[in-house]
Amino acid sequence: MKCRRCKDKGKTEKAIIFLPHHNLSLCKDCFLAWYEKRLDETIKKMDMITKKDKIMVAVSGGKDSLALWYALTRLGYEADGLYINLGIDERNYSSTSGEKAEILSKRLNRPLYVIEVKKQFGKGIPDLNKLTKQPACSICGLIKRYFINKVALENGYTCVATGHNLDDEVATLFSITLSWDIDSLIRQLPILPEKEGFVRKVKPLIGFTEKENLLYCLLQRIDYIREECPLSTGVKTIFYKNLLNRVEQKSPGTKLRFYFNFQKKLHPLLPGQIIPPLHSCSICGQPTTSYDICAFCRFKQRVKHSLQT
Ligand code: AMP
Ligand code: FES
Ligand code: ZN
């Protein structure tokens, strides 16, 4: 198989990948150029960020968010990193993920902010799960949302970028469509605009599959954590991803159509998001829809209470 882009330029180069959903075969150099150009086009077309933004990339140590940080920097965006160490010791998951984020931070010569859940709570996610009986993923989501917003605002960032990819977004969309959860459908956007006390959040990788981000990391020699989070095994999203991969194999382009046609055709027909009035948390000052204490501080109190009893 020959690279299509090289062929168009009258050259002959062996392709290293065929992307059936774009009907495109590319060599190494053309893949890297295609990836970065497509990322920049997505950002500009959707008005996600500009070169004037001070961007914080939430990096997990995985391939998607590290590829995003690297590519944004190469494209000339000003982007720093934030890693939240969740305190997952099984197979050294958290320490290894953190190391990967540190390595890229040094390579890019950009700062990496680190938040340690164990320092905040005295325990990591698995122990917090045992202590409070709350599902690990919901604790993890609460803590990540809280610190991503707090660290970005406190340090003057105008925008947070996450590494959610096409596979993530399609699996989420599929799952909420199955139950016609309209409120969640309304929130399924690649950009969550800034509002009182909440920084703008963008997902620039929505047009890329996991495999494309993986290949970008391999070709750019970005070291990332290979293992999935040990607490996420058996999660429904993984089942949906496998199912959707089978559909994609039979009918290439399904994922892109499902996601982008939703954004273009269905989302505009949905009612606007009803944003409940926001208040400042009486403990930490972060915005919350509760009248008094935010969900994070309530969780912190619950942990303290459980430790005392
Ligand atoms: P996930 O929910 O694990 O699929 O992650 C989605 C996105 O959230 C990643 O691409 C990152 O941008 C961000 N993220 C996940 N885990 C962390 C973490 N430990 N620290 C900072 N950002 C994270
Ligand atoms: Fe959140 Fe595993 S990444 S529980
Ligand atoms: Zn609070």
> In the predicted model, is pLDDT for residue 55 greater than 70?
yes
- Alpha-carbon distance of 202 to 184, in angstroms, equals 17
pLDDT tens, 243-283?
999 999 999 999 999 999 999 999 999 998 777 888 999 99
Counting Cβ atoms within 10 Å, is residue 58 exposed (0-12), middle (13-18) or buried (19+)?
Answer: buried
13 Cβ closer than 6 Å to some ligand 1 atom:
no
Counting Cβ atoms within 10 Å, is residue 304 exposed (0-12), middle (13-18) or buried (19+)?
Answer: exposed
pLDDT tens, 30-46?
999 999 999 999 999 99
Distances (CA, A) of 218 to 28, 84, 190, 215, 221: 10, 24, 26, 5, 5
pLDDT tens, 129-181?
999 999 999 999 999 999 999 999 999 999 999 999 999 999 999 999 999 99
Tokens encoding 215: 């290949």
DSSP state of 109: T
**Strand order through the sheet with 159-161:** 112-116, 78-85, 54-58, 159-161, 200-202, 191-192
In the structure, what pLDDT confidence band is assigned to residue 233 with cuts at 50, 70 and 90? low
Q: How many CB atoms lie within 10 A of CB 23?
A: 10
Q: How many CB atoms lie within 10 A of CB 273?
A: 10
Q: Give the orientation angle of helix 125-132 with respect to helix 136-154, to 10 degrees.
A: 120
Q: Is 52 in contact with 27 (CB distance < 8 Å)?
A: no
**Sequence-separated (6 or more) residues with CB below 8 Å from residue 240:** 171, 174, 175
Choosing from 55, 57, 60 the residue with most ligand 1 atoms within 8 A of its CB, the one to mutate for a pocket test is 60
pLDDT of residue 4: 96
pLDDT tens, 86-97?
999 999 999 999
DSSP characters over 74-105: HTT-EEEEEEEE----GGGHHHHHHHHHHHHH
Distance 47 CA to ligand 3 centre (A): 31
Beta-bridge partners for 192:
201
pLDDT of residue 121: 92
pLDDT tens, 57-101?
999 999 999 999 999 999 999 999 999 999 999 999 999 999 999
Distances (CA, A) of 235 to 136, 225, 264: 11, 19, 29
Choosing from 56, 65, 201 the residue with most ligand 1 atoms within 8 A of its CB, the one to mutate for a pocket test is 65
- The average pLDDT across 12-29 equals 97
pLDDT of residue 234: 61
In the structure, what pLDDT confidence band is assigned to residue 302 with cuts at 50, 70 and 90? very high
**Domains of the chain, start order:** 1-35 (no CATH), 46-271 (3.40.50.620), 277-302 (no CATH)
Residue whose Cα lies nearest atom 4 of ligand 2: it is: 137
Residue whose Cα lies nearest atom 3 of ligand 2: it is: 229
Query: Three-state secondary structure along 258-306?
Result: HHHHHHHHHHHHCCCCCCCCCEECCCCCCEECCCCCCHHHHHHHHHHHH
- Alpha-carbon distance of 130 to 261, in angstroms, equals 41
> In the predicted model, is pLDDT for residue 308 greater than 90?
no
Q: With CA atoms as reference, report the closest residue to 82 among 149, 169, 168, 166.
A: 149
In the structure, what pLDDT confidence band is assigned to residue 25 with cuts at 50, 70 and 90? very high
Q: Which residues line ligand 2 (CB under 6 A)?
A: 125, 136-137, 140, 229, 231-232
Task: Please identify which residue in the block is written with the tokens 């000339």.
Answer: 76
Q: Is the dihedral of CA 174, 176, 177, 182 positive or negative?
A: negative
Q: Is the dihedral of CA 175, 178, 184, 187 positive or negative?
A: positive
- The average pLDDT across 210-216 equals 98
